[in-house]
Amino acid sequence: MSVRRRASRPLTVGGRSVDPGTTLEFQLKISEYYTTSPVNVPVTVIRGREDGPVVFLVAAIHGDELNGVEIVRRSLVGISHDRIRGALICVPVVNRFGFLNRSRYLPDRRDLNRSFPGSTRGPAASRVAAAVFREIVSPATAGVDFHTAAFGRANLPHLRADMRDGTARRLARWFGAEIIVDGPGRRKSLRAASTAAGRPCIVYEAGETAKFQPRAIRKGLVGAYNVLAGLGMLDIPRREPRFQIVVRRADWVRADRGGIVDLRVKPGDLVYRGDTVGVITNPFGREVVSVTSHTTGVVLGTSTLPMVNPGDAVVHVGRLTRTLATVERHALMGASGRARIKIDF
C-alpha cells in the first residue's frame, strides 16, 4: 500500500476544504456537554503546495497522557506549509473531556482508545471515536499516535507497530526508536482500526501520565520529523538510532503476594531469567518475598506504585532471543550494577 497522495487533489478535513500552500486552524466539534455547549478539539492542517502524503499526528486520546500533547504542539509550530509536501493534520488533544478532568477516560468512564472506528449510533465514547475517525483519520494516508504509560506506570520510550503491514513497518523503522514492539494493537484501538482501514498508524509510548518529560518529548519530536522525512514530506536528514530491534513478545512479571514492593529495575534495564526484579515486604511484619523475572529481555515499563496485590503487574519485559546479543553489545553498566540500554535523546 502506498502512502503517496497528490496534494493537488481536494483535501477536506473536518468538513473544511484546505487549499495547497495554506495552514488552517479550526475547532472540530466531537460532542457536547449536558449544558448543550459544544465539545471542540483544536485541529491544525498544514498543507504544502507540492504533492505528498497526508499524515495525522494525534495525542491525548487518553486525557492524562501529556508528553504527546507537547510533541504534536511543537510539530505544528515548527513546520510551515512553505517547507512541506503533502499535508499534516495535527490534533494535540483528542480527548478534550479527559484532558479537562485530568483523566484517562471519558465522562462515562469508557476508554476512547477501545472505541474505534466508532459508531454514530453507539454510546458516547463510540460517537466521539466516530467523529475523530471520520474527520481526522479518514482524510489521511498514515498517522502517528502519541501515548505514555497509564497512571501508576512508567514506560521506556519505544514504538509499537504492526510489522506485518509494509507501510507501518517502514514508518516504524523511520521513526528511529531503538525498540519496536511488534503487534496489531488492541482491538478497537485507534492504531488497529486505522491500520485496518488502510491508514497505517504507529504508536510512540514514553514516560508517565500528568507530566511533561523533556527527554521523552524530544525523542518523540525527532521521531515525528524522521517519519515526515522518510515519506519525503520534509527535506531534512533522518536521525538514525545506534541500534534498532523488534520485540515480538512482551510479558508482565506479576506479584504473587500482597504488600509493599521495592523494585530493583528501571525501564531500559536488561534482566535475565531468574533475576530478582523486586522484593515485596509485609508492611506489618518482617516477611520478604522476591519477585523474579521468568524471561530474559529489556524492561519496557514498570509500576510506580509501591502497594501491590497478588496478580498486580509490576515489570513489563520485552523478550529478547536472537536480538539479545545486539542489545548487550550496546548496553551500559548502570549505577545499580545492572546493564541497561542507552536511549538516544
DSSP secondary structure letters along 83-94: S-EEEEEEES-S
> Contact 176/228 with Cβ under 8 angstroms?
no
Query: 36 Cβ partners below 8 Å, 6+ apart?
Result: none
Using alpha carbons, list the distances in angstroms from residue 19 to 10, 15, 27, 31: 8, 13, 18, 27
> Contact 128/98 with Cβ under 8 angstroms?
no
pLDDT at res. 5 = 46
- pLDDT tens digits, one per residue of 135-193: 999 999 999 999 999 999 999 999 999 999 999 999 999 999 999 999 999 999 999 99
φ and ψ of 178, to 5 deg: -70, -35
- pLDDT tens digits, one per residue of 234-255: 999 999 999 999 999 999 999 9
Confidence of residue 6 (pLDDT cuts 50, 70, 90): very low
pLDDT at 68 over 90: yes
pLDDT at res. 43 = 98
- State the greatest distance between any 2 C-alpha atoms of the chain, in Å, as a whole number: 71
Q: Coil, strand or helix: which one is 128?
A: helix
pLDDT at res. 333 = 83
Q: In the predicted model, what is the mean pLDDT of residues 31-37?
A: 94
Instruction: Sort 32 into a burial class: Cβ within 10 Å, 0-12 / 13-18 / 19+.
Output: exposed
Q: Among 209, 178, 185, 169, which residue's Cα sits nearest to residue 330?
A: 178
Share the mean pLDDT of the chain.
95
Instruction: Sort 287 into a burial class: Cβ within 10 Å, 0-12 / 13-18 / 19+.
Output: exposed
Percent with pLDDT over 90 in the chain: 92
Residue located via cell numbers 550496546: 330
pLDDT at res. 182 = 98
CATH numbers and ranges of domains, the chain: 12-230 (3.40.630.10), 249-341 (2.40.50.100)
Q: In the predicted model, what is the mean pLDDT of residues 300-326?
A: 97
Question: CA–CA separation, 289 vs 111, rounded Å?
Answer: 35
Q: Read off the pTM.
A: 0.95
Question: CA–CA separation, 319 vs 246, rounded Å?
Answer: 10
Position 131, amino acid:
A
- pLDDT tens digits, one per residue of 109-118: 999 999 999 9
For the beta sheet containing 307-308, the strands, ordered from the edge strand earlier in sequence to the opposite edge, are 288-292, 276-281, 259-263, 307-308
Q: In the predicted model, what is the mean pLDDT of residues 82-103?
A: 97
pLDDT at res. 8 = 64
